[in-house]
């Protein structure tokens, strides 16, 4: 059973950047993808982007393209996401999720516990 362990809460100033991590254990890191999903307080889930470590390919939601960078370190089974030019609208819980591909289907079958990122002056 895979476990995704995320880094701790962050408090950032507007205009700064934040880099959060997601370490996978219990399964081969390369055999699936990692996606990042955020959720503002009282709001729904928003897919931000993802990476397939086996291929090193990254994908981003249009809304975040250019401001979000997702990377992965296979040697430590850790995925990272950096968000730049933070504003108060980026205050949210950030989840990582394992993306399993079965045939032409895909699903987020394991999730981290989430990281609260607060952007405040």
Partner 1 sequence: IQMTQSPSSLSASVGDRVTITCRASQSISNYLNWYQQKPGKAPQLLIYAASRLQSGVPSRFSGSGSGTDFTLTINSLQPEDVASYYCQQTYSTPTFTFGPGTKVDL
DSSP annotation string for 38-71: EE-TT---EEEEEEETTTTEEEE-GGGTTTEEEE
* Residues in region 63-92 near partner 1 by CB under 8 A: none
- Of 3, 17, 28, 57, the one binding partner 1 by CB under 8 A: 57
- Of 47, 71, 91, 118, the one binding partner 1 by CB under 8 A: 47
When asked if residue 29 is in the footprint of partner 1 (CB under 8 A), the reply is no
When asked if residue 108 is in the footprint of partner 1 (CB under 8 A), the reply is yes
Give Cβ neighbours of residue 50 (< 8 Å, ≥ 6 apart). Answer: 33, 34, 35, 36, 58, 59, 70, 99
8 A C-beta contact, residue 97 and residue 112: yes
When asked if residue 2 is in the footprint of partner 1 (CB under 8 A), the reply is no
When asked if residue 44 is in the footprint of partner 1 (CB under 8 A), the reply is yes
- Of 27, 46, 54, 84, the one binding partner 1 by CB under 8 A: 46
When asked if residue 50 is in the footprint of partner 1 (CB under 8 A), the reply is yes
Q: What gap in Å lies between CA 17 and CA 88, rounded to an integer? A: 12
Q: What gap in Å lies between CA 85 and CA 121, rounded to an integer? A: 13
Residue ranges that bind partner 1, judged by CB under 8 A = 33, 35, 37, 44-47, 50, 52, 57, 59-61, 95, 97, 99, 101, 104-109, 111-114
């Amino acid at each position: 059973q895979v476990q995704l362990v995320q880094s701790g809460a962050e408090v950032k100033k507007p205009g700064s950047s934040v880099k959060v991590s997601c370490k996978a254990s219990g399964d081969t890191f390369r055999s699936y993808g990692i996606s990042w999903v955020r959720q503002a307080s009282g709001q729904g889930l928003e897919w931000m982007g993802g990476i397939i470590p086996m291929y090193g390919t990254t994908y981003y939601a249009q809304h975040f393209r250019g401001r979000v960078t997702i990377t992965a370190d296979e040697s430590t089974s850790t995925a990272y996401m950096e968000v730049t030019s933070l504003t108060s609208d980026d205050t949210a819980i950030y989840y990582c999720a394992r993306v399993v591909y079965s045939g032409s289907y895909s699903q987020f079958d394991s999730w981290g516990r989430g990281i609260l990122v607060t952007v405040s002056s």
